[in-house]
Amino acid sequence: MTFLKNKDEKINFSFPNLDKKITSLNDKKFENKPVIIQIMGSWCPNCMDESAYLAQVYKQYRKEGLEIVALAFEKTNDFEKAKNQLLRLKKKFSIDYDILVTQQTGKEKAGEVLYALNKITAFPTTIFLNKEHKAVKIHTGFSGPATGKEYEGFKQSTESFIKQLLKE
């Protein structure tokens, strides 16, 4: 199970997006907005299902102030190779949120990069931040559309939680 080492510590990161622009939670676009951080890789089937779902969520709640950012842990440290894989992913699922290239591989490195967390146990891991950017929920794994009722239940509870974050 993934959790914050210190519940008062904020998660932070600074990585290039696919255009090589350094992006962090301190950027103006994230200011006073709830943020979903998706820890993923384009090689991970459950991450693909989650990316398709989050792309829809972002389209639905972006105008209300929700931001989503993906931290990609690819099978390569080469920026250009990772970028090409992630551009295909972005196109396939019509992803409008930023995907950042960590140039790190594996869950051990993900845990090191996101040092506020105890560890990353699985991909995807999804972190929900409130408007003050405090982690209020961490979800590990993803049960996609093939799981039927479980997926529908997940969608309902997640979107209810997002609406609550937007109201706070």
pLDDT, tens digit, 9 for 90 and up, residues 20-64:
999 999 999 999 999 999 999 999 999 999 999 999 999 999 999
Which residue is associated with the tokens 């551009």? 87
Helix ranges restricted to H, 62-148? 79-93, 106-113
Measured distance CA(84)–CA(101) in Å, rounded = 11
Alpha-carbon 33 to chain mean position? 15
Cβ neighbors of 110 (< 8 A, separation 6 or more) are: 39, 71, 73, 102, 104, 120, 123, 125
Q: Which residue has the higher pLDDT, 7 or 95?
A: 95
Measured distance CA(75)–CA(41) in Å, rounded = 8
Average per-residue pLDDT in the chain?
92
Number of H helices, E strands in the chain: 4, 7
pLDDT at 71 over 90: yes
pLDDT at 6 over 70: no
Picking from 71-75, 104-108, 155-159, which range would have the lowest pLDDT averaged per residue?
104-108
What pLDDT does 60 receive? 98
Dihedral angle, C-alpha 131, 66, 50, 53, nearest 10 °: 150
pLDDT at 113 over 80: no
Nearest CA among 71, 73, 69 for reference residue 96: 69
Instruction: Tell me, yes or no, if the pTM score tops 0.85.
Output: yes
Q: Give the pLDDT confidence of 137-160 residue by residue, as tens digits.
A: 999 999 999 999 999 999 999 999
What pLDDT does 115 receive? 67
Is the domain defined by 14-167 classed in CATH 3.40.30.10?
yes
Measured distance CA(158)–CA(42) in Å, rounded = 22
